[in-house]
Amino acid sequence: MPEIETLTITAPYLPVACALGEGPFYEEDTDVLRFVDIIRKEVHSVSLAAGPASHKVVVLEDSVGITADIDGRTDEYIVAAKYGFATLRRDTGELTYVKKVYEDEPEMAERMRFNDGAVDSRGRFWAGSMNDFHVKNLQAEGCVFRLDPDMTLHRMIEDVSIPNGMGWSPDDKTMYFTDSPSRGIYAYDYDSPTGALSNRRVFFQLAADEPGVLDGCTIDTDGNLWTAVHEGSRILKLSPQGEVLAHVTMPAWKITCPAFGGRDLDIIFVTTAGVDDGEETPEGSGHHGAVFQIKAGAKGARSNKFGAF
């Protein structure tokens, strides 16, 4: 087994207090980091050149779980929102749905929302749905959908309860998918030309005596996977073989999602969630809902853009 490195982050990069910070995304064209607060229905942005003082917030009509740039568009980007896939105008926050996923099931449409996702190398937008916050007794009613650039919709992974981090190996032959309640990350053989998945297997399983569940993830150019441990105050760096290479701890409890950013794509930005009133949290984890940065000694790949439509 490789020796496990440790790194401790002591202060946030952006001391906001999101209710549920998620979906960090680096805009290479503008050198801007954006992320969402799912509960408060907000999109946040900060210019990395200008620093935290440039932080801005746009309030939305519906919750948004994940965002992605659109090939050839600068005035808007695509998101996975409450009812499905929508475009979002940068200046106003106006949402325009382009594909609602439960149009013929109004009861399901109200029960569900979108959580996490990513765009693959062929410009297809993958995103997972789950029960909305008002639904009691979480059910495995969610699905990972794939929206192709021609606007066809495909159900790829069924019967999930909390779909989380997704990504692809550098050779584009493996897709990873995080199923939070199982505390595991699964690997699939991935056929890039068709987007087909096969041969599901366990890539990594959090040990029974370790706190938390696995949440969002990002992958570096060496094929290492960096995964958030929600209610675990840390990020784990995993090798392509699923071995733990590093622990990165930070002073927040509910770590939600990492993403590479910066001009050299060598900084990992990490979103976190807030805590409920009266909720007991570990000592020293007071920066709930803040955004952190990790100078990880690794580089991320450029984010894929959703194909023009």
Give pLDDT tens digits for 77-86: 999 999 999 9
State what percent of residues in the chain have pLDDT above 90: 91
Per DSSP, helices labelled H in the chain are 106-111
Token duo for residue 100: 């609602």
* 141 burial via Cβ count (<10 Å: 0-12, 13-18, 19+): middle
Q: How confident is the model at residue 309 (pLDDT cuts 50, 70, 90)?
A: very low
To which residue do tokens 């439960």 refer?
102
Which of the 8 DSSP states describes residue 275?
A: -
Q: Which residues are catalytic?
A: 215
Look at the domain 5-29+115-295 and name its fold: Neuraminidase (2.120.10)
Domain locations in the chain as residue ranges: 5-29+115-295
How much is the mean pLDDT over the chain? Answer: 95
Q: Is 111 helix (H, G, I), strand (E, B) or coil?
A: helix
Give the span between the Cα atoms of 74 and 77, in whole angstroms.
Answer: 7
pLDDT digit string (tens) for 196-243?
Answer: 999 999 999 999 899 999 999 999 999 999 999 999 999 999 999 999
Provide DSSP, 139-192.
-S-EEEEEE-TT--EEEEEEEESSEEEEEE-TTS-EEEEEEGGGTEEEEEEEET
User: Parallel, antiparallel, or unpaired: how do β-strands 5-8 and 244-249 relate?
Assistant: parallel
CB atoms within 10 A of CB 112: 22
pLDDT digit string (tens) for 63-106?
Answer: 999 999 999 999 999 999 999 999 999 989 999 999 999 989 99
